[in-house]
Amino acid sequence: MTDQTTGVAADAPRTYPDHPAALRVAAAAVAARATHVRPSSRPVDAGYLDELRRRPPVESGLSRLPDERTRVGFVIVRDAINFGSGLHPHLVKLPGLSGARTIGQHLLDRVLRQGVPDPAYLAGLDAHACAELFGQPTRGPAFTLMTMFATAWNELGAYTRDRFGGEYPALVEEAAGSPARMVAVLAGMPHWRDVSRHGDLAVPFHKRAQLATYGLSLCHDPGGTRRFTDLGRLTAFADNLIPHVLIEDGLLEVSAELADALRAGRPLEHGSAPEVELRAGAVEVCERLARRAAADGDPLHPVELASLLWKRGQQPRYKATPRPRSVSFAY
């Protein structure tokens, strides 16, 4: 049978774009022509990579979950709402935790008590249910974020229910072991699509889809859902914390005007040239760090470097200065 709208056999395998490969090229192009943010031209000290590797892990909660199915569902549901950094300062936070980690901890507690929220439930919940789950007020900027969370979860629930039979592991099986394809499967949801423009250039960051793919790679039991074959295909996930760490460490250089805005804690407009250049610059620096690690004989994939930099960003010295923030579904 042929799909009359596409002319393709209905049972033919889907083809998916390679978003990370496109981002790798686009980020290098943005970094080369940027006016607000540039990767530092100084060589990377090998000791810097050694220092990153020595950071103790930040507990993600995966080790506390009983099986692969639960871990897969948790990662997908968690990263569906892994955004809103511009509103995190307004959240009621758990003691000692950032906004992102507060949200993650509340969700983990819910999963440990009741299991992963199923797609049918997510498709129908509202912002008040999110506020109750995450311990947030039902007014003000925090509730704005809860409304955004409800929108994202409604979308995930409907997408998983309608296309994948209500089974989170089926999204992973659709990727057929390809991390780039996993990114594209997730980017099939409008609120996961994270594409900015820099002049005439499209920059397909897809931060949450790349982060979720990396998280899913850590979920598998032997013989379980198909493992991803090459995490090196992924780029760094372009959030706001990784550029902040790279700026503080001298690996990203910013214009005086942007530095003043960041120090003042002024939110950046999502999709503006400075914001796109920060994200693209971080991706490009991680590519350079990965090349240095490979040359040293101790390879690290760019997405692994991003994870290590994110963990580094939990140190007090990085929390002592304002990080870039933007209100969007991207990060």
Sort strands 252-254 and 37-39 into parallel, antiparallel or unpaired.
Answer: antiparallel
CA 308 vs CA 88, 183, 231, 266, 303: distances in Å: 22, 20, 15, 26, 9
Q: Nearest 5°: CA angle at 153, between 60 and 157?
A: 105
pLDDT for the residue numbered 196: 99
Angle between helices 46-53 and 302-312 (to 10 degrees): 70
Q: Which residues pair with 252 in a beta bridge?
A: 39
- In whole angstroms, what is the distance from residue 322 CA to residue 320 CA? 7
Question: Which residue ranges make up each domain of the chain?
Answer: 19-31+63-319
CA dihedral 261, 264, 270, 273 (to 10 degrees): 10
> Which of the 8 DSSP states describes residue 240?
S
Q: Nearest 5°: CA angle at 208, between 26 and 155?
A: 120
pLDDT for the residue numbered 13: 58
In a structure prediction context, what are the per-residue pLDDT tens digits for the chain, which is 331 residues long? 444 433 444 454 578 999 999 999 999 999 999 999 999 998 888 899 999 998 766 667 899 999 999 999 999 999 999 999 999 999 999 999 999 999 999 999 999 999 999 999 999 999 999 999 999 999 999 999 999 999 999 999 999 999 999 999 999 999 999 999 999 999 999 999 999 999 999 999 999 999 999 999 999 887 776 778 899 999 999 999 999 999 999 999 999 999 999 999 999 999 999 999 999 999 999 999 999 999 999 999 999 999 999 999 999 999 999 999 999 999 9
pLDDT for the residue numbered 229: 84
- In whole angstroms, what is the distance from residue 167 CA to residue 147 CA? 24
Angle between helices 302-312 and 241-248 (to 10 degrees): 80
Q: Which two tokens stand for residue 59?
A: 């507990």
The model carries a pTM of 0.92
Q: Which residues pair with 61 in a beta bridge?
A: none
* Of the candidates 43, 54, 62, the residue with the CA atom closest to the CA atom of residue 308: 54
- In whole angstroms, what is the distance from residue 280 CA to residue 198 CA? 10
pLDDT for the residue numbered 59: 66
CA dihedral 328, 265, 288, 50 (to 10 degrees): -120
- Would you call 10 helix, strand, or coil by DSSP? coil
Cα 148 from chain centroid (whole Å): 16
DSSP conformation letters of 145-204: HHHHHHHHHHHHHHHHHHHHTT-HHHHHHHTTT-HHHHHHHHTTSGGG--EEEETTEEEE
Contact 112, 80 (CB under 8 A): no
